[in-house]
Amino acid sequence: MIQLRLFVLMALGAALFAAGCKPEPAGEKAEFKNKDNTVYARLPANPDRLNPVLSTSVYARAVNELIFQYLMTFDPKTLGLSPQLAKAAPVVEELTAGEFAGGVAYTFELREEAVWDNGTPVTARDFEFTLKAIFNPRVDAAAVRAYLDFIAGMRIDPDNPRKFTVLANKKYILGEPVVSNMAILPEYVYDPGGLLRPFPLEDLARPERAEQLAQEHEALARFAESFNAAQFSREKGFISGSGPYAFEEWETGQQIVLTRKKGWWGDAVKGSPPALAAHPEKLVFKIIPDQAAMLTALKDQQIDACSQIDAKDFIDLRNNEAMAGLFNLHTPSSMTYYYIGLNNKNPKLSDKRVRRALAHLVNVPGLIDNLFYGLAEQITGPFHPTKPYYNRKLDPIKFDPEKARELLASAGWEDTNDNGVADKEIGGQRVELELDYLISNASNFVRNQALLFEADARKAGVKINIVPQEFTVLIDNTKKRNYEMYAGAWAQDPVPDDPKQLWHTESDTPDGSNRVSFSKREADELIEKIRTSLDEAERTRLYYRFQEIIYEEQPYIFLMAPLERIAISKRFTAEPSARRPGFFVNDFMLKSDL
């Protein structure tokens, strides 16, 4: 669903940094093991679930976008929104009178060709159902609801079941892209009993009224229990969308298989819009967390496409003539940044001086040079450095163990028992500054970064315990706030940043994305102003001040914005993208001369 998949990169995404790729040796033709029209792509981790309303995983998004469709979707090349289920971009009108005066109306019309798997048309009722599911307070969709609080209602054209208007009760900087980039779910699959039909969208869109209805009507809880259940996220027959590919199987830790639907409706649309591209007959997502295993699979041609290749391995691949004959290697700009999340409510980390001290113990330039081979830029805050409102007046935090030790001492952390670890009395007990650092076991970079952090932290009397975990386990622990520190990354779409999902106090919930429990009144006030300010200059001023607060409070240790590292088999005609995951398998075209 909107999954405004955090991190945004404006129009710069169109400027791809093509990595050098050695030409094939003269007179030799590459021999490909696979010649069928199936794309084998690597996923670095298991998705959390295949449901665009509930999922918060970037790995799930790569699969969801092939099963489900959106009113409009981001073009991988231009990064602009392109019509998918909708015929065209919405007609946008400011509301000057009536119940929602001061708000905005967004009017869409769905394509006549669009149908569900049972042959029935995709209609405005399905879109309304999807909104109702999201606004049902018992549905685990808080991350999505954070972006939709401006929606107040919806009107369906009485003469055209495919035409509808979404009504907003206020202006919102992301109003048009958020509504446009929403997936639509088939009501007949996800609510066969019509449990949500009696409840007006206008009521569910009001949080207090929705909560009241949920307490009064068991139907909302029954729907949520069913919708939240694993079967609608994992089982064939319960995962269904209007997209070109049908879900076949998910073998946990092994693979996810999709097959192209026969007679898919998009084939009948004139002009073959890029947003409806579906060239491969089959898609197999190989779940390979381990970098070494991924490289083995790549070299053995078990996979045709992969991203997130560790920098050293990527450089080695560029210098391998045999691989150059089989794969194109790319380094497009990545709408991503890496960080270390700090549990701001943990007694050891609640003081911003401690958090700043830890930031001084991460040698980011060294990481970029030695582990990323220069394919990244150090960052100072929560926005991508290519954004026009990225605050370059903030100096990158320098690696300085002595400064870290001073800050810790000012916060009361000193080594009183000469064991090499700073300690402090908290709640009447002597506590040592020993911190568990959760990392994903899928990345050599993260593992090596953690080892360097562990060694450098000792210089200031901080003991770091590295705790590798499977990706989904790590995410689950961060959602439960069951951690002290964790290695994370956020990916964004090409729209202006709305900081609410990550940084507002209201998003510090079990299924919200403020997983570090950051809370500051001025920051909340700035976020509310940013979300409704349509004046770009004023919004930039607000963005600058917001970044200053984040810089002062240090809720994350901000690391770097990397370039992506991608390999794509030469048996396909395919282009890289600045949008995650860096390639889009539905657009891969099998070469005819294999």
Confirm whether 15 is domain-assigned.
no
Asked whether residue 437 falls in the same domain as residue 505, the answer is yes
Q: Residue 80: pLDDT above 60?
A: yes
Query: How many helices (H) and strands (E) in the chain?
Result: 20, 23
Could you tell me if residue 153 is inside a domain? yes
Give the separation between CA 144 and CA 493, rounded to whole angstroms: 14
Question: What CATH number corresponds to the domain at position 576?
Answer: 3.40.190.10
Q: Which domain holds residue 420?
A: 336-562
Answer yes or no: is pLDDT of 9 > 60. no
Among 212, 233, 254, the domain-final residue is 233
Residue 481 tokens read as: 């706030």
CB atoms within 10 A of CB 208: 8
List phi, psi (to 5°) of 494: -80, 70
Please list the alpha-helical segments (H only) found in 9-110: 58-67
Same domain? For 503 and 367 the reply is: yes
Last residue of a domain, one of 209, 233, 257: 233
CATH number of the domain encompassing residue 543: 3.10.105.10
Is 28 within the bounds of a domain? no
Say what angle helices 521-532 and 536-553 make with each other, to 10 degrees. 160
pLDDT beyond 70 at 323: yes
Do 200 and 132 lie in one domain? The reply is yes
Mean pLDDT across the stretch 443-449? 87
pLDDT score recorded for residue 87: 97
Amino acid at 286: K
Q: Any idea what DSSP says for residue 497?
A: -
* Averaged pLDDT for residues 215-221: 97
pLDDT tens digit string along 367-401? 999 998 999 999 999 999 888 899 999 999 999 99
Query: pLDDT tens for residues 30-74?
Result: 789 999 999 999 999 999 999 999 998 889 999 999 999 999 999
Say whether both 301 and 346 belong to one domain.
no
The verdict on 284 and 353 lying in the same domain is no
Coil vs helix vs strand at 465: strand
- Average pLDDT of the chain to the nearest whole number: 92
Examine residue 174 and state whether it is found in any structural domain, yes or no: yes
What's the pLDDT at 13? 31
CA of residue 570 relative to chain centroid, distance: 28
Band of residue 4 on the pLDDT scale cut at 50, 70, 90: very low
- Among 208, 233, 258, identify where a domain stops: 233
Query: Do 251 and 399 share a domain, yes or no?
Result: no
Which residues lie below 8 Å from residue 535, measured CB to CB, with a gap of 6+?
none
Count structural domains, the chain: 3
| Average of per-residue pLDDT across 524-540 | 93
Is the pTM of the predicted complex or chain greater than 0.85? no
Peptide bond into 581 cis (omega under 30): yes
Q: Same domain for 431 and 541?
A: yes
Determine which helix (DSSP H) or strand (DSSP E) holds 394, and give its type and residue range: none
- Paired with 40 in beta bridges are 284
CATH of the domain at 229: 3.90.76.10
Phi, psi of 108 (to 5 degrees): -125, 155
Task: Count CB atoms within 10 A of the CB of residue 319.
Answer: 10
pLDDT at 300 over 70: yes
pLDDT beyond 90 at 20:
no
Which has more pLDDT, 451 or 20? 451
- Domain-located, residue 23: no
pLDDT per position as a tens digit, 551-591: 999 999 999 999 999 999 999 999 999 888 889 999 999 99
390 plus 533 within the same structural domain: yes
pLDDT tens for residues 418-436? 999 999 999 999 999 999 9
Query: Which of the four pLDDT bands, split at 50, 70 and 90, describes residue 28?
Result: low
Pairwise CA distance, residues 378 & 381, whole Å: 10
Q: State whether 399 and 537 are in the same domain.
A: yes
Residue 336 near residue 491 (C-beta atoms within 8 A): yes
Q: Are residues 315 and 343 in the same domain?
A: no
- Taking only the tens place, the pLDDT of each residue in 130-164 is 999 999 999 999 888 888 989 999 999 999 999 99
Considering only CA atoms, which of 311, 386, 408, 326 is closest in space to residue 22? 326
HEC letters along 335-391: CEEEEEEECCCCCCCCCHHHHHHHHCCCCHHHHHHHCCCCCEEECCCCCCCCCCCCC
Rounded-to-integer distance, Cα 338 and Cα 371, Å: 13
Classify residue 192: in a domain, yes or no: yes
State percent of the chain over pLDDT 90. 80
Q: Return d(Cα 193, Cα 92) in angstroms, integer.
A: 34
Closest alpha carbon to 205 in 171, 161, 168: 168
Is the separation of the CB atoms in 167 and 103 below 8 Å? yes
Domain membership of residue 9 (yes or no) is no
Q: Are residues 361 and 449 in the same domain?
A: yes
243-292 confidence digits (pLDDT tens): 999 999 999 999 999 999 999 999 999 988 999 999 999 999 999 999 99
- How much is the pLDDT for 12? 28
Neighbours of 502 (CB within 10 A): 24
In degrees and rounded to multiples of 5, residue 137 shows phi and psi of: -65, -15
pLDDT of residue 92 exceeding 70, the answer is yes
Residue 512, phi then psi, degrees to nearest 5: -90, 170
Residue 46 lies in a domain: no
* Residue 577 neighbours by CB under 8 Å, 6+ apart: 13, 16, 76, 77, 332, 583, 584
Q: CB neighbours (10 Å) of residue 525? A: 12
Whether the CB-CB separation of 582 and 564 falls below 8 Å is answered with yes
Query: Do 491 and 476 share a structural domain?
Result: yes
Burial-class residue 417 by CB neighbours within 10 Å (0-12, 13-18, 19+): exposed
Q: For position 405, what pLDDT does the model report?
A: 97
Residue holding tokens 């109003």?
175
Indicate the range of 23-27, 40-44, 310-314, 470-474 predicted with least confidence: 23-27
Q: Which residue has the higher pLDDT, 13 or 83?
A: 83
Neighbour tally for 79: CB within 10 Å:
22
Q: Nearest-CA neighbor of 503 among 339, 308, 387, 377?
A: 339
